[in-house]
Amino acid sequence: MKYSYQYPHPSVTVDCVVFTVQNNFLKLMLIQRGAEPFIGEWALPGGFVRIDESIESAASRELKEETGIENIYLEQLYTFGKVDRDPRERVISVAYYALVSSEEQIIAADTDAASAKWFPVDELPRLAFDHKYIIETAYRRLQGKLSYQPIGFELLPPKFALSQLQSLYEIILNKKLDKRNFRKKIQKTGLLADTNETQKGVSHRAAKLYTFNKEKYDILAKNGYYFEI
């Protein structure tokens, strides 16, 4: 059966907001556009959804094609549909976000991306489209996520000191946390397992090393919890 469509169809795109922590800075992956509109300007990795693929598949494909980043879990963020957000046509964008380890990714720009690069979130260049607003939305979501899902397993070494975990939270939140209060609360979650080891080769007093309780971590990551920071 053939159907006649009464309404014009907007195009659908995906945008990927990918964060990492490098050298004590929270950073964001951007690509330099190699095609119009906004040629030469920086933007989020993304592009148009093909007629025969899911939105999730499009996000993963565009991210890999434009940056080389692959095999990561992308969480849907929000749908952005301001009428004039794209000068080409009516475009609705479904945005995704993730926090990943940059050391596990080989960055390589391709397709219509002239280059790809990590930028500190507080030193972003001029951005194309409405990507500044998308990034701000993702950053707020990431900061809020710290209170209901554990973060750190993918970014910290297998064995870490509590100071390293606290530093990670401070980098994401962009604020200092009370050392005693943080440690008391994080240890109450049951996320940490004492390795009975201490740091080696440090000039200061060697700190105890912990690892994540993977079983507990997975449960809390799936079901959520409340961690008042």
All domains of the chain, ordered by start, with CATH?
Answer: 11-125 (3.90.79.10), 162-223 (1.10.10.10)
Closest-CA residue to 152 (of 176, 168, 175): 168
Q: pLDDT 10s digit of each residue in the chain, 229 long?
A: 677 778 888 999 999 999 999 999 999 999 999 999 999 999 999 999 999 999 999 999 999 999 999 999 999 999 999 999 999 999 999 999 999 999 889 999 988 899 999 999 999 999 999 999 999 999 999 999 988 888 888 889 899 999 999 999 999 999 999 999 999 999 998 899 999 999 987 778 889 999 999 888 888 888 888 888 7
Whether 135 and 119 have beta carbons less than 8 Å apart is answered as: no
Q: Which helix (H) or strand (E) holds 114?
A: strand 113-120
At 197 the pLDDT is 96
Whether 132 and 85 have beta carbons less than 8 Å apart is answered as: no
Compute the chain's Rg from CA coordinates.
Answer: 20
pTM: 0.92
Q: What is the dihedral of CA 46, 49, 54, 57, to 10 degrees?
A: -30
Residue with tokens 């907001």: 17
At 1 the pLDDT is 66
| DSSP code at position 50 | P
At 152 the pLDDT is 83
At 41 the pLDDT is 97
